[in-house]
Amino acid sequence: MARLEKSAGDIANEIDERFGSAKFVRRSARKVFPDHWSFMLGEIALYSFIILLLTGTFLTLWFKPSQVEVPYEGSYIPLHGLTMSEAYASTLRISFDVRGGLIMRQIHHWAALIFVAAMIVHSARVFFTGAFRKPRETNWLIGVALITLSIIEGLLGYSLPDDLLSGTGFRIAEGVLLAIPVVGTYLSFFFFGGQFPGEDFIARIYTFHVLLLPGIFLALITVHVMLVWYQKHTQYPLPGRTEKNSVGYPFFPVYTAKAGGFFFITFGVTTLLAAFVTINPVWLFGPYTPTQVTAGSQPDFYMGFLEGAFRLMPNWEIHALGYTLSMNIIVPCFIVPGLLFTSMGLYPMIERWVTGDNREHHVLDRPRNVPTRTGLGVMALTTWLILLAAGANDVIAITFHLSINAITWFFRIAIFVVPPLSYVVTKRICLGLQRRDRDLVLHGRETGRIMRLPNGEMIEVHEPISETQRYILTAHESPGPLELEPATDPNGIPRRRVLASKLRARISRFYFEDRIVPPTPTDARELESSGHH
């Protein structure tokens, strides 16, 4: 033991003399990490990304990003002798003729789905708890960029095998490129090296998929994680946790073991899923040729909301001056995601402007205590879910024996009706929960015991809640709406930007008009002295 310690010490000495690493280790080993399951969602995404890098590298050893047509001579009989691209043939080779190839392919694909899904759930957690607030807006923006890029990365990835399903996806991509005003036709010809499908695009998207985008991911994820480290993690509003401290477990050893262990858990769960559940059985789809298509042509789920927007959009095309503007493509493919992602990215700035709150926040919100934000978040998620479901309208139709036309019309109406409704309902629920919290603090918990008073009245006995719970229920702020600024400043000089401040006051009213004020000790005392229980 002593020898081990000595040699470890020797190595540490050599490193420190070169990098001065002791300073860093001294500061970091006891760095505090708040512990909560919802803080692991981002880690699922991070670890999935590492799994993607590892399995992806394995796949590149055999995959041939080439559209050269070759006859298939591998071991899968139902495709034997068919002409197909080398990309598809090499994917079949990985699946059937390389030992462990299929499990690696399946881990890679499942990890991709989990990567995007984890990012979505992680961003929802960050949103609903207000973790995006100052000083973490930059990290929110990086997160939005990562989600956006992951959708593109996923599309490129599942297109590489050049099977019938993925080829259909790129046929649609061609249509989308062509729809871009003015330059679309040129972009499409440059992208495909001529007409669709051409002989170039698999090789091109391969470079994007394995080099360019992963590089960008790596850079963004590094900054994202370093910022979490530097700005320290947020924490839930529990007793003893304030804006000026950070409560949790030390980085070494507890968090190292937990986070490190969780990487292996993520890898393990993904692998077990891949061991027993098929994903993307390309051998069943057949090689891509532009004259064929399959029923239920769907993208992976992260493209689903775009697919849904495509399916719901009415056939609006503008023809003028000898040019064509395909609104039936531009709206679902550019405007819908543009609005969704831009509003998502800008939300922290918008909320800061509306609330005028310029402070740092490290203690999280309970979603019910910010009803408007929570309502808006649910509204965005609902929109996304409706589009996602609409993207699977044919599968819904066949599974539930419904009319695909009726489903499409249902979603066409729902996309305008349900999200606002979900906003209102969520906000009401939040306010209701706040009211209940207030009652709990002031009147205590219902015990279910009925007591008869001397005067004969029957009352239920209420028990006061614990100090801890009372603190949790009352620790939040409940800001009221901003007042409209007077048109002139104190010196009587007219203010500029009156319109902006009017708008701001109006949005602020929208945010904060309905509110439940958390009870105070004074309230509790007054209630007690008035004899009411």
Partner 1 sequence: MRLLSKPLGALSRQRRRRFAPMVLLLVALGLTGGAYAAFAPSPQAAAATGASAQTLKDGRDLYLRNCSSCHGLNVEGSSDGPTLVGVGAASVDFQVGTGRMPAAQLGAQIQQKRQQFTQEEIQALAAYIASLGPGPAIPSKDQLDYADADAAQGGQIYRTNCAMCHNFAGSGGALTRGKYAPSLQGVSPKHIYEAMLTGPQSMPVFPDTTMTSQDKRDIIAFLKTTQTEPSPGGLALGKVGPVTEGLAGWLLGLGGLIACAVWLGAKAR
Partner 2 sequence: MSDQQHTGPGARSHDAQSDGRHDVDSRDTANDTSNADIQLAGGHDSEGPPTDGSSHDELATRFADPGLPAHTYRRSDIDPLAARRREREVATLFGLSTLGTLLFIVAYFAVKPSDAAGPEMLGQVALSTKLLGLGLGLAMFCVGAGAIHWAKTLMPDDEIVAERKPMRSSEEDRRAAVAALKEGAAGAGLGRRKLIRNSLLGALAPMGLLAIIPLRDLGPLPGDVLEHTAWKAGRRLMTDPAGRPIKAADLPIGAVVHVLPEGIKKLPRPLDEEAKATAIVIRLAPSDLADQRPDRKGWDVAGIVAYSKVCTHVGCPVGLYEQQTHHLLCPCHQSTFDVTRNCAVIFGPAARPLPQLKLATDEAGYLVAAQDFEEPVGPSFWERGD
Residues of this chain, 363-392, that bind partner 2 according to CB under 8 A: 363
Task: Tell me which of 394, 429, 445, 527 binds partner 2, using CB under 8 A.
Answer: 394
Q: What part of residues 479-498 is at the interface with partner 2 (CB under 8 A)?
A: 479-483, 485-486, 490
Q: Is 356 in the site for partner 2 (CB under 8 A)?
A: yes
Query: Of partner 1, partner 2, none, which one sits near residue 506, judging by CB under 5 to 8 A according to partner kind?
Result: none
Instruction: Compute the distance between CA of residue 176 and CA of residue 154 in angstroms, rounded to an integer.
Output: 17
Sign of CA dihedral 367, 373, 378, 381: negative
Member of 90, 106, 383, 426 binding partner 1 (CB under 8 A): 106
- DSSP assignment of 19-67 equals H-HHHHHHHHTT-EE---GGGGHHHHHHHHHHHHHHHHHHHHTT-----
Give the residue with the Cβ less far from partner 1, 390 or 440: 390
Residue 317 binds to partner 2 (criterion: CB under 8 A): yes
Q: State in angstroms the smallest separation of the CB of 190 from partner 2.
A: 4
> What gap in Å lies between CA 361 and CA 126, rounded to an integer?
13
Name the amino acid, one letter, at 238. Answer: L
Residue 393 one-letter amino acid: N
Site string for partner 2, 102-131 (x = CB under 8 A): xx--xx------------------------
Angle, helix 404-443 to helix 304-312, in steps of 10 degrees? 120
The distance of closest approach from Cβ of residue 284 to partner 1 in the complex, given in angstroms and rounded to an integer, is 5
Helix axes 336-355, 137-159, angle to 10 degrees: 170
Nearer residue to partner 1 within complex by CB, 105 or 504: 105
What is the dihedral sign for C-alpha 149, 152, 153, 154? positive
Using the contact rule CB under 8 A, the part of the chain among 58-66, 328-336, 379-387, 413-421 near partner 2 is 328-336
Q: Which does 304 bind (CB under 5 to 8 A by kind): partner 1, partner 2, none?
A: partner 1
Residue 112 phi/psi, 5° resolution?
-65, -45
Per-residue x/- track, 175-214, partner 2 (CB under 8 A): xx-xxxxxxxxx-xxxxxxxxxxxxx--------------
Residue pair 158/169 in contact by the 8 Å Cβ criterion: yes
Looking at residue 301, the DSSP 8-state letter turns out to be G
Q: Are 196 and 171 in contact (CB under 8 A)?
A: yes
Interface positions, 196-255, toward partner 1 (CB under 8 A): none
The rounded distance, in Å, linking the Cα atoms of 427 and 435 is: 12
* Residues 11-40 contacting partner 2, CB under 8 A: 30-32, 35
* Residue 420 interaction partner, one of partner 1, partner 2, none, beta carbon < 5-8 Å per kind: none
Asked if 70 contacts 83 with a C-beta cutoff of 8 angstroms, the reply is yes
- Shortest separation between residue 265's beta carbon and partner 2, angstroms: 4
Question: Which residues from 420-479 bind partner 1, rule CB under 8 A?
Answer: none
Residue 215 binds which one of partner 1, partner 2, none, with CB within 5 to 8 A depending on kind?
none
Candidate list 226, 269, 417, 421; residue touching partner 2; CB under 8 A? 269
> According to CB under 8 A, which residues from 418 to 457 bind partner 2?
441
Burial of 469 (0-12, 13-18, 19+ CB in 10 A): middle
Say if residues 297 and 400 touch (Cβ distance below 8 Å). Answer: no
- Based on the shown chain and the rule CB under 8 A, indicate whether residue 463 belongs to the binding site for partner 2: no
From residue 35 to residue 64, what is the string marking binding to partner 2 with x (rule CB under 8 A)?
Answer: x-----------------------------
Of 139-147, 317-325, 335-343, 378-386, the window that binds partner 2 (rule: CB under 8 A) is 317-325
Q: Which does 402 bind (CB under 5 to 8 A by kind): partner 1, partner 2, none?
A: partner 1
Q: Does position 266 bind partner 2 by CB under 8 A? A: yes
Pick from 404, 365, 373: nearest CA to 510: 373
SS3 525: helix
Q: What is the CA radius of gyration of the chain?
A: 29
192 interface partner picked from partner 2, partner 1, none, CB below 5 to 8 A per type = partner 2
Min dist. Cβ of residue 28 to partner 2 (A): 11
List binders of partner 2 among 149-178 (CB under 8 A). Answer: 168, 171-172, 174-176, 178
Q: Report the 10 Å Cβ neighbour count for 307.
A: 23
